[in-house]
Structures are given as structure tokens and as C-alpha cells.
Amino acid sequence: MTNTLAPLVAALMACSAAQAAPSCTVQTRPFGTLSSGEPVLAYTIRNARIEVTVLDYGGIIHAIKVPDRDGKVGNVVRTLEKLSDYEGNATFSKIVGRFAGRIGGGGFTLDGKRYDLVSRPDGVSVHGGPAGFGSRLWTSAAAECGVDLSLISRDGENGFPGNLQVKAAFRVNDADLRIDYTAATDKPTVINLTHHAFFNLSDAPDVYGHTLQVNADQWLPTDGKRVPTGEIAPVAGGLDLRKGRDLGPVAKSSEDIIKANNGLDHTFVLKDRHAATLSDAATGRTLDVFTSEPGLVVFSTNGWNGSVRDAGGRPLIKGGGLALETQHFPNSPNVPAFPTTVVRPESPLHSWTIFRFSTGAN
């Protein structure tokens, strides 16, 4: 009887082991040393469909490798050549905080108290001011199919109130990369987090051959300092991306609302959690973006001029990538009609974004 049952027992044990085996691996390696002397770690999360590398410096997404329709695997985010290049760029492929986007008027008033922010001479705070979250070395730990990052942002940093405990959890599942942000504060404050990765789904040096569809009927007009005025306007012309448009003609449009920014650099008011779809016909790759956030900033790297090279040695030229920044609206602290960015001790922040990759072969 023992001999008869042995094959069955062995099969059951093998099945159980297969079910218990992780669907992905997480590997940690040194990535380099910052100018401060602090070592940086790279976490590579890999499964059968996607490979993602995240740095604990700035929450940088250094790679997202997925196949094209023919099975050829490629990195679909633009990266920089050296760690020092990342140090020299405040937002490139990094977590942006405390406050993504622009805040005008030199600050804001919350619960009757005025807070003056570290701003440019024109009174505009950009991406929360200097030495933001993308310039910080986060505390990091490998997790199941991902990595957890955390940091403390002290009361008064760049003028923002409250001690913040911020966490960013990166998780890989199937062909998805999900980022969950949480932030707890000890006094009322404002916060707006996003990730500033630049996508290019193709082998081309620019994204002008891509098609972009954004689920938004409205967008946010800005003033001469590119700060939202508080108006919410219907999309029209080149900003009407509801049915999908080729990026080249849109980003190169002579329309005033696009020409003023030298390309796309606009905030869209999202209709639902499926924010956008970016696709490349040449490779068959598609990126769908889902989020809990009310807005999406679409930025077509209008200032890149080839003076900086990526990790593969290729010049980063105008239109070389596309940022799809899921976030609350810029200047929200000064516009009561916008969805609130206020976070209080009794109501921590939680937001999430999913980047989902597929191909015509899926």
C-alpha cells in the first residue's frame, strides 16, 4: 500500500510546493554612492511578465522591462546614465513631494494661518521646493513582490507644516506595477504626491509615434506663471484626447494652449479611475494607467535637448519620453473649489496608481 500511495503523495507535495512558491523574485544590489557618501540600493522585482527596478534614492524607477508583441524585452522608462546624473535632477523618474506641481502666491492659508513656502522669485513653489522627496534617501526594505520605502518630512520643511511620515509601496503583480502612497501628519497640512517617470514604449528616440488617450472632458487653464487659475475648462483642439490622438501632431501643435508650453504640459480632470492609455503601434506595447487621484499631468519632455544621455548612452531629446503624473490639482491649497489636498492627524493620506502593461500578443 505504501508503494501504491507514494507517487500520489509525491505529486501532492510537488503541487503544494509549486503553489507555495513565490510568483516573483526580489533581488537587492548596490547601485552606487551619493555625493554625501551614502550607499544606494536597487531593488529588482521580477516575474514572468515584467521586471521593475526601484532605487531607494528618490524612489527612482530605474527600469520597467516588458516584452513587445514579438517577445523582445525592452526598458520602457527613460533612465539616466549615472547616479550623479540623478542627483543633479530634482524630479527625473522620482517621487515628487511634498507637493507635486505649482503653488502660487508664495504660499497658502490653512485653518486661518498663513504658511509662506520656499518659492522662486516670482512667488511660485514648484514640486514642493528644493531638496524634495526625490532628492532624499528613503529607508527601504524588500517585500513580497515589491519594495517598501519610507521617510520622515519634518515640520517646516520648505515652509510646509506638520511632521509627515510618508510611505511608498511598490508592488508587481502579473504585468502591473502598483504604487501605494500613505502619509500621516501630526498637524493639518497639504500634500500632493506623484511619480515622475518618463515612458517610451518604443525603440525610437521620441514618443511622437505613440497614441495617447486620456479619459478627461476638462483641463485646468493656467496663468502666465503656469499656475492653475481655478478655472476648469472643457477640452478642445489638441487637448481633446478622449478618443486617442497621435502624440506627434499634438505635441508639435501651433495652438496657443500647447505652443505656450512648447508641447504638452497640462493637467487633465479625470472622469474615472482609468486615467489614460498610451500605445505604440510599432512594438504593440500598451500602457494603461489607473489611479485614485482626480488629475493627470501629461508632460512631453519639452525641454530635453540631447545634452544628457540615458543609461544606454542615447541622447535625451525633445519628446524623448512622456510623463503621466497622477495627482491632485496644482495650486489646490489656494483654490477651495478644487479637490482638497488637506491631510489631518485623524485622516491620513492614501492614494494609489497602477501602471498596467500589455501587448498585441496578450
Domains and CATH numbers, the chain: 25-359 (2.70.98.10)
Q: Does 87 participate in catalysis according to the annotation?
A: no
| Cis amide linkage into residue 98, ω under 30° from 0 | yes
Alpha-carbon dihedral sign for residues 102, 78, 293, 222 = positive
Sequential DSSP letters for 94-151: SEE-SB-SEE-TTEEEETTEEEE----TTS-EETTSSS-GGGSB-EEEEETTEEEEEE
Residue 54: per-residue pLDDT: 98
- The pLDDT confidence band at residue 81, using thresholds 50, 70 and 90, is confident
Count the Cβ atoms, other than its own, within 10 Å of residue 12: 11
Calculate mean pLDDT across residues 285-304.
98
CA angle 50, 175, 350 (to 5 degrees): 110
Residue 68: per-residue pLDDT: 97
- Whether the per-residue pLDDT at 21 is higher than 50: the answer is no
Catalytic annotation, pick one of 157, 293, 325, 328: 325
Tens digit of each residue's pLDDT (9 = 90 or more) over 205-214: 999 999 999 9
CA dihedral 229, 234, 237, 238 (to 10 degrees): 60
Residue type, 307: S
Catalytic annotation, pick one of 196, 210, 266, 328: 196
276/242 Cα distance (integer angstroms): 9
Calculate mean pLDDT across residues 294-299.
98
Residue 362: per-residue pLDDT: 53
Give the percent of the chain with pLDDT over 70. Answer: 93
Element (H, E) at 295: strand 295-299
Residue 163: per-residue pLDDT: 98
Residue 120: per-residue pLDDT: 96
Q: Does 231 participate in catalysis according to the annotation?
A: no
